[in-house]
Structure formats: C-alpha cells, structure tokens
Structure 1
C-alpha cells in the first residue's frame, strides 16, 4: 500500500473505530509506529482534524466525515446488502473489493445511521446456494476470466454441454466464441456472444462450460450491439400445459421455473402453462414430480413421459 492510500485508510479507520493507538494502526497496515506518527503529522498538516490523547490514542474531531456523504438507513442497508451479493455471485477479485467497499461505507456513516443499519441487517441474511460445489467454484472462476477477456476483446474456446438436447443433437461440442457480455439470469451466469460454430449470437450457461481457454484471436464489437438494451429473440414456440395435484400446487407456484408462463388454481389443484423450444427441456423437471403431475398437451410430450415411465418400470 502506497502512502496516499494508507493516509486515506487511516482516516477511514479512525472514523470507524473512534479512537486508535499508533501501535493499532501500525499492526493494521503492517508498518512501524514511526511511520504512523509521520502519517498522522502529514494528515494534520493537510487539514484533517486529528486529536491525539496521551495514553488513549488518536481520534477525529466530532462531525468530521470523509467523503461528505449522507445516507438514509434504507440507502445504507441497500448498499451493504449489495456488497454481500457481490461477494456471493461475483469472482474472488470483486469479492475482496466488495469487502473493502463495505468497510468504507460503514466508516463514513454517522453513528446513529450505522447502528440503525446494523440493527436492520440483523433481520436479513444472504446465503449462497451450493457455495462449495464444483459447479459454483468453476462458475466464479469463469466469471473472473470472462469479464477480463470481454474488456480485452479476445475470443474464448470451451467445451459446452447442452443438457436438454434433442435426440438429433450432440450433447457436447467445442465452441469458439467472441464474448460480448455476462448476464445473471435466475441466479445463474450466462455468457452472451457470437458463436463461430453457429455463426450467430448465442447464450451459454457458465455452469455448462468446461475447459475454458482464452485465445489470442481478437474481435470487434458490432456497433449495433448494446448489452443493456439487448433482448434475445424468443424462439420458444411449443406450449406445454400440465395439471398438478393439490398437494404440490404451492410448490409449482414457488419453483420459479424458467419456462413457466402462467398458472391458475382449479378445484383439484393447479393448471400451469409453459413455453419451450424442445419438449426435452421440460421433461426432466416434469419427471421429478412423478404421478402428481399430468401433461395435458402436447401429445408428443405425453408420449415421452409414458416412454420414460415404461423404462422405469422395466428397471424395477
């Protein structure tokens, strides 16, 4: 840490902790007490109102805050929760920046706002799902790699698994892609980019990518592409209607299935409508509910469910 960064950090530490001894600051910044004495002198000469008390330590004069920001409790809570979200969903690099940002935000809050924000935050908690799973770890690593190559405008190559593929398609393929941006969809990161294999703009879930490698090939962003305004073409042309038994109706409502369009309560349970590109995209999800769900249409999906049920019967 250079001197300028350390001087700012000292102010933030004093704002957060009220009173600190020279040895406390020296331990925090891994330097000598003599260096801290010089830093304190430099800050005082720059007009920062630091008060030194023998036997107690250093403190800032009441009312001095840097920078001069004024947050309401709700704004402070929103910012602090946001840093937690970044730690969970972005890579390690941004996770560390989120931690330091949280410390700085807490440091600039007046005591009353900081205490009330801390009280409100005790009523909420953000948990990461499958934090230690192989897919989750790899996803974070890929987020870090991809966000860098997007800025560098370099192509990437990876093996991609299409989980819900039709019988005529290969489940695994090697893709070379010009990455345009990353989008968080329903808790999962998706890469938007131009695929050399398909010769069009495609979407790739990071959890379905393996063996990611950065290529030397560079690309140029099309002038017409804007990630913030981008809306993918909806090619889900197959409508699926199901009936769910009353006992699982609430679970269907809460499942947040990507393909779910609408649902309505009926006497015996629930009617739900989905839209998909291929019936296989919904098949695994339907099978998990067993006999508690009945496919009403299309007939092609009813037949596929019947085929899978017959396979299960033969196995048992």
Structure 2
C-alpha cells in the first residue's frame, strides 16, 4: 500500500471510532509507532482536524467528515456475501436493517460495480439445515436491533421470556452484557434482576421486549469476553475424557461427526481405530454410539459403559 492510500485508510479508521489508539493503527498497517506519528502529523498539516489525548489516542474533531467513500469491486462483493449470511443467520430486525444499508451502499457504487454485484447476486448462496425455530406470532424473533440499542446505550431491557427448562414464561428485567451466535441461534447474556445473576437467554424464545429508559453502569458487570471465558473454564472442569475403539471399516461413516463431539486424538491400531474425546455429557454421547452397535468398544471411563448399559436397557424396554 502506498502512502497516499495508507493516509486515506487511516483517516477512514479515525472516522470509524470516537478514539483510535496509535497502537491500533500500527497493528492494522503493520508499521511502527514512529511511522504512525509521522502519518498523523501529515494529515494534520493537510488540514484534517485531528486531536490527541495523552495516553488515550487520536480523534477527529466533531463536525469533520470525508466525502462519500467509494467501494472497490472486492469490497462490494464482500458486503454482498455478508448480506447473504445475514439473511441466513440473523433475525427479522437485523435482516431488514442490513438490507436498507446495502441499498445505500449500492446507490453510491459506480455503474461497473453495480453490474458486477448483479452478476454475483444470483451466484452466491448460503445453504445448510435451518433448525426448527420458535418463529411465529408468539415468538416474533425480531428483537436483535432493540437489544443492540440497549447494549450501546446501557439501557435496561424488560422482556417476557419462555424457558423450556421451567416450561413457563416469566417477565424479566435484565441488564444486557452482550450477544453471541452459536449453534444457529443468537444468545443474550445479561444480568437478570429477578434471579440476581448472569443468565443466557435464547433470543428466539423472547415473546415480548421493550427497552426501558432506565440505565445501568456497564462497569458493574463482566464483559462478554470475561463471561464466555468463565463458562469455558467451567465446562472444561465438568468434562469427561473418553476413549473408544472403532472398527476401521466403520470410520468412513463417522467422517466429520467425530469433530462435533470434541475429538482430541485419533490412532490406528491394527484393524481398529482408537478415538479420544473430551465430552461435557456422557449421556448425550451414548446416543451417538448406539448408531454403531457392536462395532464400537468403550475403553474408558467405566462411567460411560454404565451410561451405555442404561441406554441399551431403555431401548430394550421400549421395543421388547
């Protein structure tokens, strides 16, 4: 990247955040802090009103904006791909907002870029099994945009949430911590005022939601990253080390399934293959093992053998 392009990119980066640290600029463009200082000084000398806070970072004085930014074909194609992913993995509210944003982006593209996007549009698809959701009049699945607003403004959320565990709907007031996507569903991590603790709420199980004018102190809570790290450590403490032996001829039917169950090691020993897993639940694992019948031998732990005997007994009682 030549210096003119780099200066333009730095200016765009400064417009994208309230404060940008020099280290962030250096990391993005793989250059030294000394070069960052020179580039920022060059922008200031060119008339760009860039301010600096000691020990914090750079900022652009309120009111200054670049002219509309033009997108390259590659950038436009990446945004189109993002739109396809949003259609598949977001809720009604975010899909609508992203679609509106894409309309604005398309409106500033040059004619050649518009033609390029149109030719790509019909040739990009995001496929895959969409799990059964709770969408409908009872579970509208359209609250991500409201949740994002509450997160950005530190506002309390009031919602009616249906818990499968309790098989009942309850009214909750929560202080949102963050959202994440996992296993085809969006999750809201929040401090629940009713339960006085952090809870994981499936967004598609929210029946009603409103963002209150009441605010909360973000500093009183864990960050989303800290919460997820805590959960990861707890899951590791509750895991089981499992080793099984499978006939080599059966391995072709297992394929990628073994990775879904936490495969750690795989070794071929003669006519059989030994697989080592780290599992959060033995009961869940037995359901998978049943598929392979007597071609599988459990090497460890004994608890898995006991769980498997229980599973087989349940099946025998059901069918005989």
Q: TM-score band, normalised by the shorter chain?
A: 0.5 to 0.7
Q: Helix, strand or coil: the match of 1:124?
A: coil
Q: Which residue of 2 aligns with 1:63?
A: none
Equivalence for 2:18: none
Aligned length: 240
Determine the structure 1 residue equivalent to 2:302: 299
Corresponding residue for 1:235?
234
1:264 — aligned with what? Answer: 266
Cα 1:100–1:292 change in 2 (3 A) is farther
Aligned pair in 2 of structure 1 residues 183, 247: CA closer, same or farther (>3 Å)?
farther
CA distance in 1, matches of 2:121, 2:184: 22
Bigger radius of gyration = 1
CA contact (8 A) 2:159 2:210 kept: yes
- Aligned pairs (5 A) from 1:244-283: 244-246=246-248, 249=251, 252=254, 254-255=256-257, 260-267=262-269, 268-269=272-273, 271-276=275-280, 278-280=281-283, 282-283=285-286
Deviation at 1:226, TM superposition (A): 3.1
TM-score by length of 2: 0.58
Q: CA deviation at 1:250?
A: 5.6
The residue correspondences of 1:304-315 to structure 2 (distance < 5 A) are: 304-315=307-318
Change (3 A) 1:245 1:181: farther
1:257-304 CA-to-partner distances (Å, cap 9, x unmatched) read: 66515242525346141231x434545455555556544333223211
2: CA distance, partners of 1:127 / 1:183: 21
Change (3 A) 1:181 1:271: same
Contact 1:175 1:195 in 2 (8 A): no
The partner residue of 2:186 within 143, 166, 189 is: 189
Q: Does 1:178 align with 2:179?
A: no
Change in 2 beyond 3 A, CA 1:154/1:172: closer
Q: What is the aligned-residue RMSD (CA, Å)?
A: 3.9
| Contact 1:193/1:203 (<8 A) preserved | yes
In structure 1, what is the Cα distance between the partners aligned to 2:315 and 2:69?
Answer: 67
Q: TM-score, normalised by structure 1?
A: 0.59
Contact 1:242/1:271 (8 A) holds in 2: yes
Counterpart Cα distance in 1 of 2:124 and 2:99 = 18
Distance 1:217 1:79, change over 3 A: closer
Give how far 1:122 is off.
4.8
**CA–CA separation in structure 2 for the residues paired with 1:280 and 1:219:** 43
How far off is 1:197 after superposition? Answer: 6.3
> Any idea what SS the aligned residue of 2:88 has?
helix
Change beyond 3 A, Cα 1:103–1:232: same
Q: 1:253 to 1:205 in 2, by over 3 A?
A: farther
Inter-CA distance 90–110: structure 2 relative to 1 (3 Å threshold): same
Shift of 1:189: 1.2
Cα distance in 1 for residues equivalent to 2:89 and 2:276: 31
Residue 145 to residue 258, structure 1, CA distance change in 2 (3 Å): farther
Deviation (angstroms), 1:80: 0.8
Q: Where do 5+ consecutive residues of structure 2 fail to align? A: 1-66
Pairwise mapping of residues 74-153 of structure 1 onto structure 2 (< 5 A)?
74-120=74-120, 122-127=122-127, 129-130=129-130, 133-135=132-134, 138=139, 140-143=141-144, 146-147=147-148, 150=151, 151=153, 152-153=155-156
Unaligned stretches of 5+ residues in structure 1: 1-65, 163-169
**Deviation of the 1:69 alpha carbon:** 0.6
